[in-house]
Structure formats: structure tokens, C-alpha cells
Amino acid sequence: MEYIDVRWAHSNTKEPIRLVSELGSGRYETRKLEFFPDGRVDFAAKAGSLHCTRLGEMPVPSLADINAQAEFSGIEITASDFDTLWNQYVVEPYLRRDLRIRAAVKVIYDAGRSNGWPGHRIPYEELDRIGLEEFNTIVAAALDAADNVQLATITGPQLAACGSALERFKEEYAGSELSNFQVVIRESLVAHEVIFVPNQPPSSSGVWVGGSTPYGREVHYHISKSTYEILKTTFGR
């Protein structure tokens, strides 16, 4: 594992000003904290995430490459440094003290025990720290998604990235109706990821796999945060 602490100098109040990441194999993020100008701290992990923070879909560049960009200043930190921040901003406020999350977790976990779900054999109170953290993270993400299901916000840079993605999508899939797609935006250190997700047919009896439905294919455009050029295109599987 590698741990980095990156400061991001900019004037956009909607974007984080500090990104602290745990990097696993291939320099892919496994846990991440994002610090915002208003004092909010959001997080992402494999088990779930809070608000718009997501693990990056692409490997994180080396610190040398990150620091070569004038707006970024990154350093390597220790695992202990990262865990201290993670416990302070994630485990304590969201996974142990938030009574709403704990109440929801108890209902779900007890239902799992009653129905014999795998991994629910021991009482919730006896879960080890990692098990507690992972389960509570999933529930916290579910509650956050429920709270924000009617909210839709987008930043200026995200809108510019969507513009680039939409232009390319219309060129490559001219026969596709946009009304049959939902658009998802994800963030990494260097790129916006704009995803066109095809809807499921309302009365379909089939199971569609491979990132496609009769309406079209799930397309991911990875767009540079500095130039808004499309870096690469990938597809849902």
C-alpha cells in the first residue's frame, strides 16, 4: 500500500482542496478522503462512499507527475497517518456515533441474522473494527443516496466535461435517443468520467449483460480536467 496527501489550489468552492488516498495494486485507490473549502470531509471506500466522492477509475499518477502540475502539491504519508485521518473523519463521526446510521444498520444486520445471510452469524456488537466499518459504510452510503435522490448538482468543470462527452457520444451513437440514457459523473485526480448508462426496457423479461440494453451500450468517457479532451473511452461490462 502507498498513501498520499495532495493539496489542490483552486477557487472552485464545489471541488475538494485536499485529497488523501490509500493506493493498492497498480496505484488504484482503495480508500480516499476529500476535504472541501467549507470544512466538509467526504470519503470513499470499496464498501461505499459519501456524497459525490468516489474511488478513481484510473491509476493515480506518481507524486512526481502530480506535483508537475502547478495547482497540485502532494507528499507521501504513512499508513498510520492515513488511519488517524480515516478514524477521525470516517469511523468516529459516521460509523460509530451517528445514531441514524447505527439504527439503520441494526435493522438490516438483525434481518440478516434472522434470515441466515452469509457474514451475519455473530451479533452486530461483536463485529471486529474492519467488519463494523465496512457494514456501516454501506448503510451510510445507502442513506446518503436516499436523502439525495432528488438532488442534482453539477459544477462548471463537470458541465464542460459533459459537453465534450455529449459531442463525442452524438457522433458515435447518432441513432441513440438521449431520453433512453442516464448520465453519471465520477471524479479522479486527473479526469472527469462521464458515463452514459442505457435504461432498462420497462417490460423486458430478459436479463441484459455486458453493459448493453436494447437502447444502447454503456459508454464511459474519461476527460482531462485541464484540457477537457477525451483521454480514453471504456465500456460497461
> Which band of pLDDT confidence, cut at 50, 70 and 90, is reported for residue 82?
very high
Query: Is pLDDT of 124 > 70?
Result: no
For position 133, what pLDDT does the model report? 65
**Better-scored residue on pLDDT, 178 or 98:** 178
Q: Which domains does the chain have, with CATH numbers?
A: 1-151 (no CATH), 156-235 (3.10.450)
For position 167, what pLDDT does the model report? 95
For position 21, what pLDDT does the model report? 95
For position 106, what pLDDT does the model report? 67
Query: Is pLDDT of 224 > 90?
Result: yes
For position 208, what pLDDT does the model report? 47
pTM: 0.47
In degrees, rounded to 5, the angle at the alpha carbon of residue 77 between the alpha carbons of residues 75 and 79 is 155
> Which band of pLDDT confidence, cut at 50, 70 and 90, is reported for residue 100?
low
Helix and strand counts by DSSP (H, E) for the chain: 5, 12
Residue-averaged pLDDT of the chain: 81
Helices 99-114, 129-147: axis angle to 10 degrees equals 110
For position 95, what pLDDT does the model report? 55
Query: Is pLDDT of 7 > 50?
Result: yes
CA distances from 29 to 4, 78, 189 (A): 10, 15, 11
Least confident range from 11-20, 70-79, 96-105: namely 96-105
